[in-house]
Amino acid sequence: MKKILAVSVVLMVTLIGFSVGLLDDYIYNFDYFNYSLYDSHEMVVLNRTVSYLKTGVPEIRNTDLSLLSLNEAEKKGFELLLSLLSAEIIRPYNEFKVLMKEYPESIFLKAMFVEFAYSNWMIIFSKGIYDEINVVLDEIESIKGENPFVFYFRALLNSKSRLYFDAQKAQLNYDNILNKFPPNQRIYEDCFEFYYKQNETAKIANLYETYISFPRHSITNLFIFMEIFHAEGKRDISEYLAERLILITDFSFFKAKAYELLGDNEEDIESKINYYMEAYRHVPTTFDRHYHNQLYPYSKLSSIHLKLAKTAYDYDSQKYENFVRLVLNQAESINPNNEEINLMLKQLRRKVQLGVFLKFFVPIIIFVTIGILLILRWEYKLKMRDKHPKNHK
């Protein structure tokens, strides 16, 4: 009987041991874009829940925690997650901080604190929260060693902070992730945008096949790949991405850039003008320009106006002259320091001024000149008559 009891105790301890810290592996498996690919049911449910809280999708269905192998710390953390509303960040930031103190060994709770503390920090950019996140990241690393979660959030802090921006440290953290750990789309979404801003486009291009193998793709990264391959002269793939962007996005910025690329690649002049015209029609207004200004300065969109103006004017200057002048005036307001725009606009303005002069002032000058000549001739005749009155009797 004692032997049976001893074996039972051993089995119970073993089972408890297997369940302890199961969600600690979240620091290696936090790609909520592809949560369905994880083998662990617990990890699938956790990432699905975090995805909902961060992005609003997918809608969380009733989750029975009794079906999950969770230790006490994980159960409390999960209960908190399931009680939250999408985009709620202040309460989880405060409550996960409390839970971390109650269960200081739980990597899962530390990771959840970092997730929501970072979301909170991105709104208020508090130095206090920034320091708290770094302390917890150091704790995770001291327990688990190098891991993608720590590298990722350090890269975000280095690249998003207004006060502590450090491109070199951010790049080092992202490089460590790409070189040492399996692909993670969630990381790629931020990593590619950072590399693009730093002009490290070769690193992004090398990961195209990996990225495109994911089930879903962000519009921003499709745009980044389109721009990179267009610059490299890879016409087929850049056109494919441009056409795909036109179909799947409602954002005018991406449509404008996609149509511009198709215009660049088009050889038929009329078709080229039509593509540039579509790009011009989709240039964002002043109300939505801020959305993309960090990724692509709004002033650079003046390239669309310039290409349309030059192509249309070269094709039929008489037909498009007034329209081209309008487009260039808009381009000048977007990018007043562009020398090519200013030069072409100056030439057109001179032409207009010359046209006005020839159309209105020259006839007036001619009319006045003829009038003066006629008056002078009439005066001359009067003088001659006064001098020689006999000849005019």
The span from the CA of 333 to the CA of 328, in Å, is 9
Q: In this structure, is residue 126 part of a structural domain?
A: yes
- Asked, for residue 366, whether it belongs to a domain, the answer is no
Residue 360 has pLDDT above 70, yes or no: no
Q: Would you state the structure tokens that stand for residue 37, as one six-digit string?
A: 């690919």
* Residue 353 domain-assigned (yes or no): yes
Q: Are residues 114 and 17 in the same domain?
A: yes
Q: Average pLDDT of the chain?
A: 87
C-alpha R_g of the chain: 35
Structure tokens at 124: 């208020």
Same domain, 8 and 152: yes
Has residue 18 got a pLDDT over 50?
A: no
Q: Are residues 157 and 268 in the same domain?
A: no
Which pLDDT band holds residue 353 (cuts at 50, 70, 90)? low
Contact 326, 292 (CB under 8 A): no
pLDDT band at 61 (very low <50, low <70, confident <90, very high): low
Query: pLDDT of 5-15, one tens digit each?
Result: 444 444 443 34
Q: Is residue 64 part of a domain?
A: no
CA dihedral 200, 201, 204, 206 (to 10 degrees): -110
149: left (phi over 0), alpha (psi -120 to 50) or beta: alpha
Same domain, 25 and 127: yes
- Span 273-297, average pLDDT: 79
Residue 284 has pLDDT above 80, yes or no: yes
Distance CA 279, CA 277 (A): 5
User: In the chain, how many domains are there?
Assistant: 2
Same domain as 162, residue 265: no
pTM of the predicted model as reported, rounded to 2 decimal places: 0.82
Tokens of 327: 């487009």
In a domain, 244, yes or no: no
In a domain, 240, yes or no: no
Q: Are residue 121 and residue 256 in the same domain, yes or no? A: no
Tell me how far apart the alpha carbons of residues 314 and 317 are, in angstroms, rounded to a whole number. 6
Q: Say whether both 178 and 291 belong to one domain.
A: no
Last residue of a domain, one of 182, 209, 232: 182
130 and 270 inside one domain: no
Residue 159 within a domain: yes
333 is a domain residue = yes
Q: Rounded to 5 degrees, what are φ and ψ at 325?
A: -65, -40
Q: Domain of 303: which CATH number?
A: 1.25.40
Q: Are 203 and 192 in contact (CB under 8 A)?
A: no
**Does residue 37 share a domain with residue 154?**
yes
The Cα 173–Cα 194 span in angstroms is 12
The pLDDT of residue 352 is 54
Residues contacting residue 94 through CB under 8 Å, at least 6 positions apart: none
- Residue-number span of the structural domain to which 159 is assigned: 1-58+69-182
Q: Which residue has the tokens 């051993």?
A: 10
Predicted local distance difference test score (pLDDT) of residue 19: 43
pLDDT in tens, 245-281: 999 998 889 999 999 999 999 999 999 999 999 999 9
Which amino acid, one-letter code, is at 204? I
Residues 5, 116, single domain; the answer is yes
Which residue, among 357, 355, 351, 348, has the nearest Cα to 326 in the 3D structure?
A: 348
